[in-house]
Structure 1
């Protein structure tokens, strides 16, 4: 009859590697370590199904304590996948195989979201980081370009424009000159729209990412809102080069890489194309007009640009 020691040894080794990366980030509670010790003593004498259940309990405890569940889940899943192929003990191998067969369901592994690339008709450039487009169903919408922030080109938002704001808007217009259609690439790391209900995405023309191009040419600042985005590394590198070479707003003769006011203006209203509405910029940045009943109706802030 086969001794239980090899299974126990492999089990302890497996548990050790699972916890190694976890302990590096924070100390485990002594009770948890003690629990694992007790579990390893009885593990060798149990069948594969029971071994699998014991391992599931341990993995769940790890993930419940994790500060980065998605990353840690992927790491553990990779470890188990490797053990299923390379572990020599047949019982341990079978236990791991059982876990792998239902791993995603047991530990709620979310399917990785993918970027979408949709085509829109280009309507206009609002400023250096925003455009307006129309989809195939005729719906018009503003698009806020991810990963950058352009200096304010008008006084509508803050009551003043900023250094290189108009230049940024004009440069984006130049990049989109004679362009009838653009592709908008979504980013699964970000929300689909922002609080102003603008689409969030990367503007793609002939395969070129104009978000990155605006940063490379020195007309906008790299900007990370809340969560890192798909091309963050590339955009940060592009800004570093632009600042070192003093392109655009980084030039000593321009803004020296700083945001600065260039004018003040109290007027914050703008008539629309048919003159029927007057849009107002609110104190917190919202955009609205007064209805026939005298009530405020908030709209996309692009109308106040």
Structure 2
């Protein structure tokens, strides 16, 4: 497995290197295992649902929330299908790469999951098993924001996946209604 420090840290470190020969080791000693932005490469994983996976990093499991999408919950209509489609994207992968920039309030890494250069987040939308999560689209690159938005429009027009239904319930609405029912 490889971990890459962000380019900014590397450039900062290079500048400091002239003054401090321990710069490289201090990056690893004083910072968390993941830098503020990074790449994780793994091939051991567990699919939790249509927008969440767990990966094994050395001997520790990390939670990854697929950035830019929101998929049906497991108990929701199309939840199991969404999970199956994500698992199919990951199946037989030679290399699984997660590009991430931050953690969410639950401590999950927010990232784009790339399998042999296929964007599984985008694939979930293209196949009609996830929404482009517009509430958090500001966290995406401009390019990804446009790709994901256009993919949802095309999936809706084509009436594939959950778009076979006239008006599928988005996961954020489903979660809110189930929380209210439990109160």
Q: In structure 2, what is the Cα distance between the partners aligned to 1:238 and 1:260?
A: 16
Provide TM-score, normalisation by structure 1.
0.41
1:76-119, Cα deviation, whole Å (9 max, x unpaired) = xxxxxxxxxxxxxxxxxxxxxxxxxxxxxxxxxxxxxx963320
Match of 1:125 among 39, 43, 47: 47
| Structure 1: gaps (5+ residues) | 1-113, 154-160, 262-282, 285-305
Which residue of 1 is the match for residue 113 of structure 2?
203
- Specify whether residues 248 and 227 from structure 1 end up closer, same or farther in structure 2 by C-alpha distance, changes over 3 A only: closer
- Structure 1 CA distance, aligned partners of 2:54 and 2:78? 21
Confirm or deny: 8 A CA contact 2:93 2:116 kept in the other structure.
Answer: no
CA contact (8 A) 1:148 1:220 kept: yes
Count of paired positions: 135
Please report how far the alpha carbon of residue 227 of structure 1 lies from its aligned counterpart in structure 2 after TM superposition.
Answer: 5.2
Q: Compared with structure 1, are the counterparts of its residues 180 and 198 closer, same or farther at alpha carbon in structure 2 (3 Å cutoff)? A: farther
User: Secondary structure at 1:143's aligned position in 2?
Assistant: strand
Query: TM-score of the superposition, structure 2-length normalised?
Result: 0.67
Matches within 5 A, 1:122-271: 122-135=44-57, 137-153=58-74, 161-179=75-93, 181-187=95-101, 192-226=102-136, 228=138, 229-230=140-141, 231-251=144-164, 255-259=165-169
Matches within 5 A, 1:11-90: none
Q: Deviations over 1:32-69 (max 9, x none)?
A: xxxxxxxxxxxxxxxxxxxxxxxxxxxxxxxxxxxxxx
Change (3 A) 1:180 1:122: farther
Give the number of the structure with larger relative contact order, counting CA–CA contacts within 8 Å between residues 6 or more apart: 2
Report the aligned-residue RMSD. Answer: 2.3
SS at match of 1:179: coil
> 1:294 aligns to what?
none
Aligned counterparts of 2:37 and 2:117: Cα–Cα separation in 1? 15
Gaps of 5+ in 2: 1-35, 172-181
